[in-house]
A and B are shown apart, each in its own frame.
Chain A
């Protein structure tokens, strides 16, 4: 069994959204529950405590849901020889469906096409905390490999029995069992025929090492690529149910507003419109979306909200200690201080003290939050795009006071998340409307709702104080992160005196997980500051980093990126600059080299200010053994492009509990015209287990760009976004 403390201990404190209190609580019901398999053979991987701890990844949902069940994964071989893998992970664009399929096919010695994954359906897959923290590859893939490896051996034993040969004489080739001279063969279907078996996988199963991978380690295309390019794939927003209505929820006038009164007469008078009010919840449902929207607009509501802060006050607010303790001691985090900062500063030739800030930014997944809810008696089924199907099941059970067994959450492969789809508010809203109308209800948040009522990447303030000797040795490193989070705080630089801390604050906006968590903020501050130190003692930025780290993998990516970029071999052209950064997070090591140019402003941009254009990015990445090189490159490129937004121009503007730029026309995200030439270098370490790769490649870009801007102009930018309105350059 897993206890709650294990989960709290494992949970990264940055996942603010998982510590929130429930948003809704509705009236009470209950029901019964059953599930099963057809004929064939089911292979079950039991959960050990070690595995359980590895997957202990959740917060609020976890406290409310029944903690597992002692099963980590299962694989079903049906009578037709089809292999179905059941996992609680979900696909949100990170390509887990394909890479996990590769791992299973690889281990079972069957073609990719024989294996199908059922993901994120809480009635049929084993419990899983959620798809986040870059854990599918390092923890789910080995579990599935174990199941597949054991299944292979057990199936071979059964086939050997049927064929009357020794198990050692059989192997699996192209989904058939064959003996040494191929005189005896049997298909998977022939072994599964007529059986109804459950096999428990032994603990001590050995899985194939990366050096012996056949299907894993290769660039296979997405298993469902055709469904995507033909528009056939059904996202949550595409699901239709018989008699389905469309929902619309009335949003408060501001954050934390309470409903004083709502006049719903005009809306209720509209044909086919059902209005639901309960507490702060006001929603409507109708057979078409236009009418639902009209009806919601016809409701006259009075909301009461207290005055709330604006951007200008943000960084002062974040320096104030939190009123709520959360997570570790005093709500803090970081590492144990080493040596003495005072002694380190005394030993330094040059001393620096600087402050860095990062803004709130939005995930803005292109598929907004959406859900389709359908009740059958006191049981509810909800299709929704979430990274935490079991967490959302817990939220639904809580909101409606029903057992979790009465809730089924199904997650279709989803239009991205980036850490932004961990919570179930849209699912609950759809379920509330469906309950009231007795019909299935689809609710799709508008872009404006998505920008306003989801949660943001935390803003943060980071103070850094440091000392360095003239020979380039760093002697002291004091680092305080206020609010954005503790991820990415640890360093791989050899510094004798360090004091590195995270301080929780009370965020004026709702905040939560975002791809890479606070590692982006902490790498921005650290790698900018490292550059400032190198500058202070007049040492080359690459040489300075290499001088201060002995970490072999960090040195490896730094050297790989620098070589490919040509660092030190050429000087930037006029109005161009080069910058470098490096880091590590979640088992991955990254180094980024960037070339920027300053260009004349265009269109609506301020004519006084030069526009920062990222011309070229070279990023080297080491995440251990590479499962799918093409998909990994795609993830790295995508991380870099997404990082451009947070580095240069993305920033949430807010005032008095309102978001002032909740649209793509006012919140700029990276577009084709922002695309640099991107080159990736994969450091494929077949001797090291694979780490997840969806997050870490995002952390290196912002500091490398800031460093390149300094290189080009002598201007040091210390706030993300660096130059939303361009850079004033005095000539």
Chain B
């Protein structure tokens, strides 16, 4: 069976030894111990496993690892820069855009992909762009606000 041996993850070259057909999610989580990306459904319906491939958001649970070979893979663990949180990570905290937070990594990565494509998305564009991600705790309103904060469209958080 064909193998994948090299991956570019969060700017680093990583060595693995996995079947080409293995899901990118399982390789990230079980072989590279990058567990920020989550399993939620295994059918690309919930977005908890979202990572970026060359800046494009993909569902890593239904992406074979061979498809990621040779591309830049960005996971939630790769967003911080020099110990500073990414603006989306900051904004999620400011807007309190989580409860159990199991969906949060996938939400932030999907939002990162959205902001790469549309720097200042409207509310409707956010809703359309994020509709593949499920937050079962129902914090959607706060996630919309967080994305608005991160894209410089709202500076004040709701004071509660």
Chain A residues within CB distance 8 Å of chain B: 92-95, 219, 221-222, 225-226, 228-235, 237-238, 240, 246, 288-290, 364-368, 413-416, 418, 444, 446-447, 629-631, 633-635, 637-642, 663-665, 669-673, 675, 678
Interface size class of B (residues with CB under 8 A): 35 or more
Contact between A230 and B33, CB atoms less than 8 A apart? no
Residue of A219, A364, A447 touching B160 (CB-CB under 8 A):
A219
The 8 closest A-B pairs by CB, nearest first: A231-B36, A641-B138, A93-B100, A415-B102, A231-B76, A228-B101, A93-B99, A238-B35
Residue of A238, A289, A638, A663 touching B137 (CB-CB under 8 A):
A638
CB contacts (< 8 Å) of B30 on chain A: these are 246, 288-289
CB contacts (< 8 Å) of B39 on chain A: these are 237, 368, 444
CB contacts (< 8 Å) of B34 on chain A: these are 231
Contact between B98 and A240, CB atoms less than 8 A apart? no
Please indicate which of the listed interface residues B35, B89, B92, B94 has the most CB atoms of chain A within 10 Å of its own CB.
B35
Residue of B80, B100, B160 touching A367 (CB-CB under 8 A):
B100
In the complex with contacts A290-B26, A631-B96, A673-B131, A665-B45 CB distance below 8 A: yes
Contact between B137 and A642, CB atoms less than 8 A apart? yes
Contact between B80 and A93, CB atoms less than 8 A apart? no
Residue of B79, B94, B100, B159 touching A366 (CB-CB under 8 A):
B100
Give B36's nearest chain A residue, CB to CB.
Answer: A231
What is the distance, in angstroms, from A53's C-beta to the closest C-beta of chain B?
Answer: 30
What is the distance, in angstroms, from A453's C-beta to the closest C-beta of chain B?
Answer: 16
What is the distance, in angstroms, from B150's C-beta to the closest C-beta of chain A?
Answer: 11
Contact between B160 and A630, CB atoms less than 8 A apart? yes
CB contacts (< 8 Å) of A673 on chain B: these are 127-128, 131
Please indicate which of the listed interface residues A225, A228, A231, A414 has the most CB atoms of chain B within 10 Å of its own CB.
A231
Binary flags per residue of B36-68, CB closer than 8 Å to A gives 1, else 0 = 111111110110100000000000000000000
Give B146's nearest chain A residue, CB to CB.
Answer: A229
In the complex with contacts A92-B100, A366-B48, A664-B43, A230-B140 CB distance below 8 A: no
In the complex with contacts A219-B159, A228-B101, A664-B41, A640-B96 CB distance below 8 A: no
Binary flags per residue of B90-122, CB closer than 8 Å to A gives 1, else 0 = 101110101111111100100000000000000
CB contacts (< 8 Å) of B93 on chain A: these are 221-222, 225-226, 229
In the complex with contacts A228-B101, A230-B36, A634-B96, A365-B136 CB distance below 8 A: yes
Contact between B96 and A366, CB atoms less than 8 A apart? no
In the complex with contacts A447-B41, A663-B43, A664-B45, A637-B126 CB distance below 8 A: no
What is the distance, in angstroms, from B52's C-beta to the closest C-beta of chain A?
Answer: 13
Give A442's nearest chain B residue, CB to CB.
Answer: B30
Does B148 have its Cβ within 8 Å of any Cβ on chain A?
no
What is the distance, in angstroms, from B71's C-beta to the closest C-beta of chain A?
Answer: 20
Contact between A663 and B41, CB atoms less than 8 A apart? yes
Does B85 have its Cβ within 8 Å of any Cβ on chain A?
yes
What is the distance, in angstroms, from B3's C-beta to the closest C-beta of chain A?
Answer: 13
CB contacts (< 8 Å) of B80 on chain A: these are 230
Contact between A637 and B138, CB atoms less than 8 A apart? yes
Residue of B35, B41, B79, B102 touching A416 (CB-CB under 8 A):
B102
What is the distance, in angstroms, from A284's C-beta to the closest C-beta of chain B?
Answer: 17
Give B104's nearest chain A residue, CB to CB.
Answer: A228
Contact between A637 and B22, CB atoms less than 8 A apart? no
CB contacts (< 8 Å) of A230 on chain B: these are 36, 76-77, 79-80, 85, 89
Besides A237-B39, A415-B38, A664-B45, 4 more A-B contacts (Cβ < 8 Å) are A365-B136, A368-B40, A638-B138, A665-B43
Contact between A416 and B137, CB atoms less than 8 A apart? yes
> Within the assembled complex, what's the spacing in Å between the Cα atoms of A230 and B105?
7
What is the distance, in angstroms, from A240's C-beta to the closest C-beta of chain B?
Answer: 6
CB contacts (< 8 Å) of B104 on chain A: these are 228-229, 231
Contact between A416 and B42, CB atoms less than 8 A apart? no
Give A219's nearest chain B residue, CB to CB.
Answer: B160
> Within the assembled complex, what's the spacing in Å between the Cα atoms of A233 and B102?
9
Does B156 have its Cβ within 8 Å of any Cβ on chain A?
no
What is the distance, in angstroms, from B140's C-beta to the closest C-beta of chain A?
Answer: 5
Contact between B127 and A447, CB atoms less than 8 A apart? no
Sample of 30 A–B contacts (CB below 8 Å)? A92-B100, A93-B100, A222-B98, A225-B96, A228-B92, A229-B85, A229-B89, A229-B98, A229-B108, A231-B36, A235-B38, A235-B102, A237-B35, A237-B38, A240-B33, A289-B26, A289-B30, A366-B40, A367-B100, A414-B100, A416-B99, A418-B136, A447-B41, A630-B96, A637-B141, A640-B138, A641-B135, A641-B138, A642-B136, A670-B140
